[in-house]
Amino acid sequence: MNMQTSAVMAPPPPRTIQEMKLPVVMMRDIMIKTMFRKNVTMVSELAAAICLPLQVTQELVDLSREQRLLEATGTLNANNGNEMGYQLTDLGKARALDALAQSEYFGPMPVPLDVYREQIKRQSVRNMQITRAKLEAAMGHLVLPSELIGNLGPAVTAGRSILMYGPPGNGKSSISNGIRDALGDRIYVPRAIEYAVQAITVYDPIVHTAISEEKQDPKSLRRVTRFDTRYVKCERPTVITGGELTLDMLDLVYNPTARTYQAPLQLKSTGGIFIVDDLGRQAESPQALVNRWIVPLEENKDILALQSGEKFEVPFDTLVVFSTNFHPNEIFDQAALRRIFFKIKIDGPNQENFLKIFAMVAKKRNIKLDEATLIHLLKTKYPTINNVFANYQPIFLIDQMISICDFEGIPHQMRPDLIDRAWANMFVEDETIVR
């Protein structure tokens, strides 16, 4: 599959209630809850609120009228193309309140889990072919050893788990973000999915970046529904977690007050990338975290549980990137390491690449390179730390010199004495503090 945005087949809009493959009572209740909560009266407004085509919404309205839950207001609204208005009857209001007592969920009609499975196959992260050119373009702002791209490429293309490890400050997080940028195309994220008559919210504006579509007049007879609007067209999602990640964040989130469910982080990242940054800094051990991922990583499925205790399978279609400053043998046993498909060491730059990064940062910060300062840095300062270079150091040192210049009221510049002052802030010497 190529990397064009057209490569992902859009979910077709449903044409009838039967094509929805949802329990009719659930659909009816979501519709009347939406009318009750949002006070909508026109079928066109209601269709937009529950994200269904007009004809399917009209079917639900007609069904509810037959059950005496809705009634026509008897007036045509001139501002809405002479549409007939509808309102809840007393019986309809009572049913809406009863349904809200069971679940506060209203608005977009959910997509049945089995229907969503088919869309996941159409837009799987494992269908993607990331070329060297694509990956290099996404990493263009980074100075990386050429062999690193050669190692990352097959890992990303496989859509399998990746463990990046190495000393801190060498761009593991930036490389993770570069992988995300290389994914490039768009997919369709359901606003909510349905399992066992429970609606589970998936689309999350914090995680998902929606692609704005051309707005259409909802009342137009020539309105073209390009895809099922229960989905949102988005960039491939990226979930980034760090030291705050806990095991319960990978479970369904249940709101006991509203009696509603929200998808866990890994389900929200379906079709995209899940980055576990700073592995080893979480409250749970790295071993425990990876143990939680074993079934998803090996079988491409995850197990979630409802409040009732009922467990069910959901597809697991996510590129998982673990990033750690520890050596893998320090934090995992061999069984856990076997489950992680690619292990890639991210070392600090050599002197040549360090100087390239230093020059790039200086140019970006609009500060002129100074040969005497660079010689002092390489011949005097770095030997004191065994010439161990790190990617973060040029940014740190240059920004420190700029801050010192600003404080001293002098033009931004590089000098050996300024490097000495910046260097002193980069490292804290070991010493005993007397209390």
Give the tokens for residue 140: 């263009």
Same domain assignment for residues 245 and 308: yes
Q: Tell whether 231 is covered by a domain.
A: no
SS3 25: helix
Residue at a domain's end among 345, 380, 402: 345
If asked whether residues 340 and 362 sit together in one domain, one would say no
**Do residues 268 and 131 both lie within one domain?**
yes
Boundary residue ending a domain (106, 138, 155):
106
- 329 and 378 co-located in one domain: no
Whether 113 and 193 have beta carbons less than 8 Å apart is answered as yes
The verdict on residue 283 lying in a domain is yes
For the domain that residue 97 is a member of, what is the CATH number?
A: 1.10.10.10
Residues of the domain holding 382: 351-426
- State whether 266 and 166 are in the same domain: yes
Identify whether residues 90 and 52 lie together within a single domain: yes
**326, 366: one domain:** no
Res 217: pLDDT: 52
Q: Would 228 be classed as within a structural domain?
A: no
Q: Are residues 86 and 129 both part of a single domain?
A: no
Both tokens of residue 185? 């195309």
pLDDT at 225: 55
DSSP 273: E
We report the CATH number of the domain holding residue 160 as 3.40.50.300
Q: Which residues pair with 186 in a beta bridge?
A: 235
| Domain membership flag for residue 30 | yes
Quick check: is 195 in a domain?
no
**What pLDDT shows up at residue 203?**
98
Domains in the chain: how many in total? 3
Query: Given CA atoms 59, 64, 35, 30 in this order, what sign does their dihedral have?
Result: negative
For residues 415 and 216, the model is more confident at 415
Cβ(88)–Cβ(35) below 8 Å: yes
CATH assignment at residue 390? 1.10.8
130 and 253 in a single domain? The answer is yes
Tokens standing for 190?
A: 């359901």
End-to-end CA distance of the chain: 65
**Residue that terminates a domain, selected from 76, 106, 136:** 106
- Cα–Cα–Cα angle for 13, 189, 224, rounded to 5 degrees: 30
How far is Cα 428 from Cα 270, in angstroms, rounded to an integer? 42
Can you give the pLDDT at residue 221? 45
Separation between Cα atoms, residue 3 and residue 5, nearest integer Å:
6
**Residue 383 clears pLDDT 80, i.e. is over it:** yes
Residue 82 lies in a domain: yes
Looking at residues 420-429, what average pLDDT do you find?
Answer: 84
- Alpha-carbon distance 51 to 305, whole Å? 27
Does residue 356 share a domain with residue 249? no
Q: What is the pLDDT of residues 234-249, one digit of tens each?
A: 999 989 898 899 999 9
The overall average pLDDT reported for the chain is 88
Cα distance between residue 165 and residue 151, in whole Å: 13
Q: Are residues 49 and 84 in the same domain?
A: yes
* Residue 334 shares a structural domain with residue 357: no
Euclidean distance between CA atoms 142 and 151, whole angstroms: 16
C-alpha closest to that of 50 among 209, 212, 228: 228
What average pLDDT score do residues 380-393 get? 92
- Report d(CA 86, CA 106) in Å as an integer: 18
Q: How far lies 12's CA from each of 267, 270, 284, in Å?
A: 22, 19, 42
